[in-house]
Amino acid sequence: MAKGISKERSPANAIILTTEAHLSANAQTSWPHRFIGGALCLDFVNTIDLPGTPKERNLLADYDALIAWSVARGAMPTATAEKLLRLAKAAPTEAGNVLADALALRGTIRQLAETAQTHGELSPLLPSINAHLAHLTFPPRLLSREPGGASYDLPGQNLAEPLWPVLWTLSTLLVSDDLGKLGSCHAHDCQAIFIDHTNNRSRIWCASDLCGNRERVRRAYRAKQVKGTSPDSR
């Protein structure tokens, strides 16, 4: 996955947005990875780092991390996030249930994305998505945000609100031509998912300057090792 920082940090240290005082100041700087999915719902999927490897990290370790991601991604304004953090503090069990739903939804979206890449049948996965969509209202109005763009004007009254933008953008993706343009990073330990907008579907890295460079160095090192152990090199 494309990392925005080079220093390894645990989710607890990397995500500083655990108190209302830190929320506004650090929302745009504390998230440890770039957003490379091309859609909010895909960036949500990519909140598991190095999946299936010994170094796998769940970047949504708790409800506060879910809020931190939502603010950093521009899915909600900081005022909404502050309200939801207060609600979560007053209702930790409910917040934990929302987090469990979020992780289950993340897994389902990854399955959808991987199935779409192989032109498989999506219908078995749609009931789960429809069950989530049944609880949604129409998308709210948009608010401008700095340094540009917009965020959803969420009310901050329901602990499940961080999932709403994920579902809104997912439903848009599923009925768009972009569904046929999904790709995955070819780095052996990444698997980040993105929309490939290149003309010939040639994108193979989540970020060429990060996973791309790292993988090229790894392959060159392996090739050098193989050459060094070949009979001709003795």
Residue pLDDT, tens place only, 105-118? 999 999 999 999 99
CA nearest to 61, candidates 21, 27, 106: 106
What pLDDT shows up at residue 32?
72
**In a 10 Å sphere around its CB, with 0-12 CB exposed, 13-18 middle and 19+ buried, how is residue 81 labelled?**
buried
Looking at the structure, give the CATH architecture of the domain made up of residues 11-233: Orthogonal Bundle (1.10)
Residue pLDDT, tens place only, 22-74? 344 344 445 777 898 999 999 999 998 877 788 888 999 999 999 999 999 99
195 within 8 A of 37, measured Cβ to Cβ:
yes
| Backbone torsion region of residue 75, taken as left when φ is above 0, otherwise alpha when ψ lies between -120 and 50, otherwise beta | alpha
Could you tell me the pTM of the whole model? 0.80
What pLDDT shows up at residue 172?
95
User: Cα–Cα distance between 75 and 25 in angstroms, integer?
Assistant: 17
Query: Which uninterrupted H or E stretch holds 143?
Result: strand 142-144
User: Cα–Cα distance between 148 and 74 in angstroms, integer?
Assistant: 10
Q: Domain ranges in the chain?
A: 11-233
What pLDDT shows up at residue 148?
76
